[in-house]
């Protein structure tokens, strides 16, 4: 039944995409902003960050549990569908590809700037491609594989908690003066929730491409990247594709020195198609494993 719900949610995402209006995560973002403005002041900001995390997530997790108990599989399907964003992720990548092939470099910078947090205004063509590839590889975890993992492990409550914490990390998890202390709890809890699915995602990327190169890059390079989970996923993905990613980037007006990772040549536009293929093959692998697992559990 879990596999059927996952397939149904993926089909809904494929045919409907993310809701254009009234997406629950938009409303949750407003709620999180209100909580942050109320609590992120004065002293004890580490403790206030923990309190804010609990206030934002726990009532909605309880509501998801209650709705699931009352209305069953329909609610479970709806919650999983709202938690994943595979189609949106791939669509953004396709837009970057189209602009790179048919538009100007300035248009490509604008397009990739919509999916990455770094400043894209000074990127050359290779940097645009690298940014798009890193976004797909890393956000494949947040937008799909992490949500699937927690739905399988902990049902609708698990996927809701995962997606809400992931959203809070995106909002509060910056190492700035404002969020250094307050956002610590959201960032660390997101790291915890992503630890296992990140490594399963990296292993999937490795299996569906150049396994030996992916494993070597993962083992030797992931610790050099800032994110304990994103580093694992991106190094494995870059190694699997046989390309080099990373390098210095500009964030909030400041140039940040970032290591190169992966192996082989610099990426080209065609590698965006290969990365999309790697993403889809990894999803098929997850579905196959779920199907085999379901057979053995019956």
pLDDT, one tens digit per residue, over 258-268 is 899 999 999 99
Distance CA 35, CA 57 (A): 11
For position 232, what pLDDT does the model report?
A: 97
pTM strictly above 0.75: yes
Give the end-to-end CA distance of the chain in Å, rounded to a whole number: 11
Most confident stretch, 124-128, 177-181, 225-229, 280-284? 280-284
- In terms of Cα–Cα distance, which of 210, 216, 219, 202 is closest to 285? 202
Q: Please tell me the predicted confidence (pLDDT) of residue 217.
A: 98
Q: What phi and psi, each to the nearest 5 degrees, are found at residue 267?
A: -75, 155
Q: What's the average model confidence in pLDDT over 145-167?
A: 97
Q: How confident is the model at residue 296 (pLDDT cuts 50, 70, 90)?
A: low
Give Cβ neighbours of residue 210 (< 8 Å, ≥ 6 apart): 239, 240, 241, 242
Please give the backbone phi and psi of residue 210, each rounded to the nearest 5 degrees, phi first: -80, 95
The two tokens of residue 228 are: 């304990």
Percent of the chain surpassing pLDDT 70: 98
* Cα 61 to Cα 238: distance, rounded to the nearest angstrom: 35
| Per-residue model confidence (pLDDT) at position 49 | 96
Q: Is the pLDDT of residue 186 over 90?
A: yes
* Residues ≥6 apart with Cβ < 8 Å to 120: 109, 110, 112, 113, 128, 131
Handedness of CA 114, 118, 120, 123 (dihedral sign): negative
Per-residue pLDDT tens for 99-155? 999 988 999 999 999 888 888 888 999 999 999 999 999 999 999 999 999 999 999
In this structure, are residues 248 and 258 in contact, taking their beta carbons and an 8 Å threshold? Answer: yes
Question: What confidence score (pLDDT) does residue 252 get?
Answer: 72
CA angle 21, 27, 29 (to 5 degrees): 120
167-191: average pLDDT: 93
Asked if residue 298 has pLDDT above 60, the reply is no
At 57, the pLDDT band (50, 70, 90 cuts) reads: very high
Contact between 233 and 202 under an 8 Å Cβ cutoff? The reply is yes
Q: What CA–CA distance (Å, rounded) separates 228 from 23?
A: 29
Nearest to 183 by CA among 62, 35, 83, 59: 35
Q: Does an H or E element contain 279, and which?
A: helix 269-297
Q: What's the whole-number mean pLDDT along residues 146-174?
A: 95
């Amino acid at each position: 039944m879990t596999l059927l719900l996952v397939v149904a949610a993926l089909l809904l995402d494929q045919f409907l995409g993310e809701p254009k209006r009234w997406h629950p995560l938009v409303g949750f973002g407003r709620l999180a902003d209100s909580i942050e403005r109320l609590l992120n002041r004065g002293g004890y900001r580490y403790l206030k960050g923990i309190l804010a995390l609990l206030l934002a997530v726990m009532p909605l997790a309880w509501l998801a549990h209650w709705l699931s108990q009352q209305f069953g599989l329909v609610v479970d399907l709806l919650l999983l569908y709202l938690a994943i964003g595979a189609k949106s992720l791939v669509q953004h990548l396709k837009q970057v590809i189209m602009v790179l092939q048919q538009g100007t470099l300035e248009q490509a910078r604008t397009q990739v700037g919509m999916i990455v947090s770094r400043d894209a205004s000074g990127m050359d063509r290779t940097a645009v491609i690298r940014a798009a590839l890193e976004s797909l590889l890393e956000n494949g975890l947040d937008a799909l594989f992490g949500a699937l993992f927690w739905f399988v492990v902990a049902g609708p409550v698990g996927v809701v908690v995962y997606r809400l914490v992931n959203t809070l990390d995106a909002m509060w998890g910056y190492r700035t003066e404002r969020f250094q202390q307050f956002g610590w709890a959201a960032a660390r809890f997101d790291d915890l929730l992503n630890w296992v699915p990140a490594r399963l995602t990296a292993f999937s990327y490795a299996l569906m491409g150049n396994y030996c190169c992916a494993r070597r890059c993962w083992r030797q390079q992931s610790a050099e990247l800032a994110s304990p989970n994103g580093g694992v996923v991106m190094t494995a993905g870059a190694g699997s594709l046989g390309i080099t990613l990373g390098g210095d980037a500009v964030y909030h007006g400041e140039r940040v020195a970032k290591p190169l990772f992966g192996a082989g040549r610099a990426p080209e536009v065609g590698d965006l198609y290969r990365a999309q293929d790697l993403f889809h093959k990894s999803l098929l692998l997850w579905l196959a494993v779920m199907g085999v697992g379901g057979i053995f559990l019956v």
